[in-house]
Structure 1
Amino acid sequence: MPEKSIHKYFIILLVLFTGFASSSFRDGDLKPRVLIVGKKNSPCGEKGMTFEKAYVKSRIKNEEVEVVLFCQKYDGHWMKKTYKKLGSGEIVINLSSCEFTGNYYSLVYYSSEGESGINLKEISILHSSKGENPNFKVTKREKISEEKGGGVKFIEGKIFTPEGEEVSITLFMEKKDGTWRKKHFNFVGSGKTRLNIEGNDLTGKYKFHITSLSETT
């Protein structure tokens, strides 16, 4: 890939948000930020996704902001939607489909800067650059106070699947005696999952094994 193209993709990656997005600002940073809020679709069983809202934060008051949302579908195509808002605040999206894999990217910029140069083909290339293997990480855990016996709570995790496939995950959590506590579960697509595991004997360290079930059929 030419050097200019690599540089272009690097800049785009800095402003794309996958799953979680930062809404904090550095001093003097006037760039807008966006946080997309979504959930898994219960009417679709374990598949599908609903994108509910976008929270925009802008430091330029009354300046129009555009949010571009790219959503991956199970047929491999990407859907593109654009939303506009003056200044900071909430944008109601309510975009839902049983065909969404849970993979998405969002891009935010001021309307005065002109339309974003990124297109559906480039989004597909960027997504492919994340690799062909599923992944998992614990995104939220808390220490239990010593007054309540110490230990750790595993609250939330995040799963990535390249094409929205079903995966099998085994989470191993270290115990204070050096042994490991195990939890096994399956997940379809990409997204967050509640773990709700706690123990006074847990150290907070963990490891995992994840397998795509499409590879075993």
Structure 2
Amino acid sequence: MQTVINTLTIIPILFISLFTVDYNTTSIAAQGGRPTFTVIKQDVPKACPLGGLHLIEGIVRSANPDEYVDIYIYLQNYNGSWTKQVFKRKGGGVVKLDLSSCDYTGNYYALADYAYNSGKKMPSVEQVKAKHEEKGKNPKFRVTEKYPFKECEGDAIGTYFKQGEVFTPKGQKVEVTMYLQKADGSWRKKHYKKVGSGFIPLEIKGCDLNGVYKSRIVYAN
């Protein structure tokens, strides 16, 4: 069972530039046997021409099936504010989120703790914003899913680059260039564009790819 508790949006009086160098903190594991929460399904809303985020569902992992768990999700907006959403679920299992907006930059943080824990210290919106500010000014890119590609002749095994992840401090538009090394030492180049933080489908397959890659990410005009 799950219940949406409330929504709180705080807009700062002065605009503050928010930056980050880490990848999305979809789950911050609590200490001391506390429950954890992870977003397991997300997408970009089809109605959004640029950017946006749709958190579809997540999963609570809890050692106590009879205790309620509070879930806190903090989402960055394009105007510099942060929105806090709170959910509640009894025990572990899937939580339907359906948090969708074209105003979301793709940056978010999620935490969980038992509802009965009066000593829990969930961060305020201001603390989350301050943590985000400390992370730097540069966008980042990494490959998140890479597998052996076995649909090759003979005993040859190539590489399948399935998915990557972009992280921008304020949901900016970026260009990603990937350089993929071939077995003969030469390189293949692929180019991608994305607005906001989140995943990029790469879908690069090749029997001639040895799995080594380099990448370059820059802000786009």
Which bracket does the TM-score occupy, shorter chain normalised?
A: 0.7 to 0.9
Q: Which is strand-richer, 1 or 2? A: 2
Higher helix share: 1
Pick the aligned partner of 2:24 from 11, 18, 37: 18
Candidates 167, 184, 193, aligned match of 2:191: 184
Correspondence for 1:97:
101
| Percent of aligned pairs sharing the same letter | 33
Q: How far apart, CA to CA, are the structure 1 residues paired with 2:97 and 2:142?
A: 27
The TM-score, its normalising length taken from structure 2, stands at 0.82
Q: Which residue does 2:146 correspond to in 1? A: 141
1:31 aligns with 2:34: yes
Residue identity matched to 2:167 = F
Instruction: Provide closer, same or farther for how the CA distance between residues 22 and 125 of structure 1 changes in structure 2, counting only shifts above 3 A.
Output: closer
Moved more, 126-135 or 141-150: 141-150
Q: Quote the Cα distance in structure 2 between the aligned partners of 1:171 and 1:46.
A: 22
2:206 counterpart of 1:199: yes
Cα shift readout 1:118-137 (whole Å, capped 9, x = no counterpart): 10111011112221100000
Measured in 1, the distance between the counterparts of 2:178 and 2:113 equals 38
State the 4+ residue runs in structure 1 displaced beyond 4 angstroms. Answer: none
Quick check: 1:53 aligned with 2:60?
Answer: no
Deviations 1:1-49 (A, max 9, x none): xxxxxxxxxxxxxxxx9355489x99xx622111113111111023111
Where relative contact order (Cα < 8 A, 6+ residues apart) is larger, the structure is 2
Q: Point out where structure 2 has 5 or more consecutive residues left out of the alignment.
A: 1-22
Q: Is the 8 A contact 1:40 1:46 kept in 2?
A: no
Q: Which runs of 5+ in 1 are unaligned?
A: 1-16
Measure, in 2, the Cα distance between the counterparts of 1:82 and 1:108: 10
Which one of the candidate residues 152, 158, 162 is aligned to 2:159?
Answer: 152
Q: Secondary structure at the match of 1:112?
A: coil
Q: Describe the superposition over 1:81-123 as per-residue Cα deviations: whole angstroms up to 9, x where unpaired.
A: 1000110112111111100000000011111113534101110
41-50 or 200-209: bigger deviation? 41-50
2:179 counterpart of 1:172:
yes
Equivalent-residue separation in structure 1 for 2:173 and 2:166 (angstroms): 10
Q: Which residue does 1:11 correspond to in 2?
A: none
Task: Give the distance between the partners of 2:135 and 2:86, measured in 1 at CA.
Answer: 24
In the TM superposition, what whole-angstrom CA distance separates every residue of 1:164-215 from its partner, at most 9, and x where no partner exists?
Answer: 00001101111111111100111000001110001011010111111012xx
Whether the 8 Å CA contact 2:165–2:199 is kept in 1: the answer is: yes
Deviation by residue 1:126-163 (Cα, 9 ceiling, x = unmatched): 11222110000000010123657311000000000000
